Amino acid sequence: MAEEEVSKKMESLTVSEGETKTWEPMAFPEDRIAHWRKCFDGHPDAKELDGKKALAAKVIHQLFFTQAERMEYGFKDFESDLKGTMEDADKPLTWEDVEKYMKENF
């Protein structure tokens, strides 16, 4: 999925919730993580995996990090961190997988 397409979906989620938030680059306070959870749960590309919503790693990277953050922390870096955290980082990720990634990498 193209980055622009993901950004448009993210924008529509944000607008529909009436929220506009900004955070310091590469800072992950609780309200930002809560915002990620809303976006994850409401993302139109979420699939069911073992009864839980799941998203592809590429979508998560584009959804969670700003364009400036992605320039510093590219997908290859994100993917490498995922592989260091998860046994099967190539499968779509559930929110529990995301929480494990955050715990071990932030």
The pLDDT assigned to 54 comes to 96
Query: If you search the block for the tokens 């590429």, which residue do you land on?
Result: 58
Better-scored residue on pLDDT, 86 or 9: 86
pLDDT band at 13 (very low <50, low <70, confident <90, very high): very low
Which 3 state secondary structure label does DSSP give 44?
coil
* Mean pLDDT on 2-25: 55
- Measure the CA–CA gap between 10 and 43, rounded to whole angstroms: 8
Single pTM value for the model: 0.76
By residue count, the chain amounts to 106
What are the structural domain ranges in the chain? 3-13+30-105
Around Cβ 84, how many Cβ atoms within 10 Å? Answer: 11
pLDDT tens column, 95-105: 999 999 999 98
